[in-house]
Amino acid sequence: MAAQQKKLLYLVHRIPYPPNKGDKIRSFNILKYLSQHFQVYLGTFIDDAHDWRYLKDLETYCQDFYAAPLKPLQAKLRSLPALLGRGPMSIPYYNDAGLRAWIKAQKQQHDFDAVLVFSSAMAQYVMGHEWAHQHRVIDFVDVDSDKWLQYAATKSWPMNWVYRREANTLLTFDKRVADEFEASLFVSAKEAELFASMPGVDEVKVGHADNGVDIDYFNPDADYPNPYDGDEQVIVFTGAMDYWANSDAVSWFAREVLPEVCRQHPAAKFYIVGSNPSRQVQELASLAGVKVTGSVKEILPYLAHAQLVVAPMRIARGVQNKVLEAMAMAKAVVVTPQGFDGITAEANNEVMVAESTQAFATAVTELLNQPDKAAQLGQVARKHIEHAYSWDNSLQVLLPHLEGSK
């Protein structure tokens, strides 16, 4: 008689489908992988009205699930009282009575073999004495407290105070979670090392599970329609354009770097490809050489027919999926050190890394001047992805942690 499949409670701060942005790509591939080994019970939030249509898709991977609506304005108002206390604002932001009741009912009904939490804000549902004997693992993904510090450095009062406070209170909370849980995982070895080095953290319990890329889907040899005009030298950036770090990245490139590139390459055109462009991003469309597409049906044609891809991140934590995906499409990529952090590729051999405005402009113009070099760089990048970033290989590390052995 076949052994009964183990049961897993999986809590994610945003519905892990469709895998169309950084955190959802990771959370979905974890769900897909673990559904092969567990009966998965998923608790999550939906913060985009368009995502309600995808609930049916979750049935492929889940034994049962609960999706709570997350309305950003109400969530922000719910977070404000935290400013008067000692906790991070992100905890009440993701506090929902309906989800809490569903989790309690599932715990009473099922004897879960393990609990996996994706992002620290969801840990609040499985903390305290009643969960003390439950095997719990958290995927922090990034050291988010450090990202809040980066935000604070770019803002003036009072927002710099608010962000710095969030960084400090979130780090305190994350340390408490790490102390309660059996294992704390991150998206890269560098993120894990940063967290493990912090006072009060048990480094033995800290590990990482690298991101991956669907190398069959990101196929550079497939035939894609060309979305560009034939005489353009296309430089492309892809990402969710309502995310502040992405907005900051493309603004810096469009305003500071691109003019120098265009002086040497008048046909250069910078395409910003991604959904929900903020007002800051939309305003860039008025600049010479800049095109803001908004949401597109498929990003692959935009990657496939670009001369090169840029990831000019100035604020970043973890691993930039946009870089991995461009590499998988055999594209030459120019990235800042912040955007390259955590990626195992060899700098300036598999990916071009440049930090200052002048260095970034020089790297871009050199690749536009030498298309053969760009093509060769892209081929080497693709081979690295095939070798180091398949999802199955990356996620194998999860099972020993969830099964209680290392």
User: How would DSSP label each residue in 273-334?
Assistant: E-SS--HHHHGGGGSTTEEEEES-S-SHHHHHT-SEEEE--SS--S--HHHHHHHHTT--EE
- pLDDT at residue 144 in the model: 95
Residue 1 clears pLDDT 60, i.e. is over it:
no
- pLDDT at residue 214 in the model: 94
- pLDDT at residue 238 in the model: 97
Token look-up 């590729």 returns 345
For 170-199, the pLDDT digits (tens) are 999 999 999 999 999 999 999 999 999 999
Identity of residue 193:
E
Length of the chain: 406
Give yes or no on whether 6-212+391-402 and 233-388 have one common fold: yes
User: What is the CATH number assigned to the segment(s) 6-212+391-402?
Assistant: 3.40.50.2000
- pLDDT at residue 20 in the model: 87
Q: Which helix (H) or strand (E) holds 249?
A: helix 244-252
DSSP 4: P
Question: Distances from the Cα of 119 to the Cαs of 11, 33, 140, 338, in angstroms?
Answer: 9, 18, 5, 21
Q: Report the chain's mean pLDDT, rounded to a whole number.
A: 95
- pLDDT at residue 232 in the model: 95
Q: In this structure, what are the phi and psi dihedrals at residue 316, rounded to the nearest 5 degrees?
A: -165, 150
Cα–Cα distance measured from residue 43 to residue 34, given in angstroms and rounded to the nearest whole number:
15
For 241-297, the pLDDT digits (tens) are 999 999 999 999 999 999 999 999 999 999 999 999 999 999 999 999 999 999 999
Q: What is the mean pLDDT of residues 102-125?
A: 97
At residue 22 the predicted structure's pLDDT band, cuts being 50, 70 and 90, is: confident
- pLDDT at residue 406 in the model: 41
| Residue 224, SS3 per DSSP | coil
- pLDDT at residue 3 in the model: 55
Q: What is the mean pLDDT of residues 139-165?
A: 94
Residue 134 clears pLDDT 60, i.e. is over it:
yes
Question: What residues contact residue 327 under an 8 Å CB cut-off, 6+ apart?
Answer: 213, 333, 345, 350, 351, 378, 381, 382, 384, 385
Cα–Cα distance measured from residue 154 to residue 164, given in angstroms and rounded to the nearest whole number:
11
For 207-237, the pLDDT digits (tens) are 999 999 999 999 999 999 999 988 899 999 9
* Token pair listed for 227: 């979305």
**Burial readout 308-345 (b: 16 or more C-beta within 10 A, e: otherwise):** bbbbbbbbbbbbbbbbbbbbbbbbbbbbbebbbbbbeb
For 309-346, the pLDDT digits (tens) are 999 999 988 899 999 999 999 999 999 999 999 999 99
**Domain spans, the chain:** 6-212+391-402, 233-388
Residue 308 clears pLDDT 60, i.e. is over it:
yes
At residue 405 the predicted structure's pLDDT band, cuts being 50, 70 and 90, is: very low
For 53-83, the pLDDT digits (tens) are 999 999 999 999 999 999 999 999 999 999 9
User: What is the CATH number assigned to the segment(s) 233-388?
Assistant: 3.40.50.2000
- pLDDT at residue 230 in the model: 84
Residue 2 clears pLDDT 70, i.e. is over it:
no
Q: Are 272 and 299 in contact (CB under 8 A)?
A: no
Q: What is the mean pLDDT of residues 135-140?
A: 98
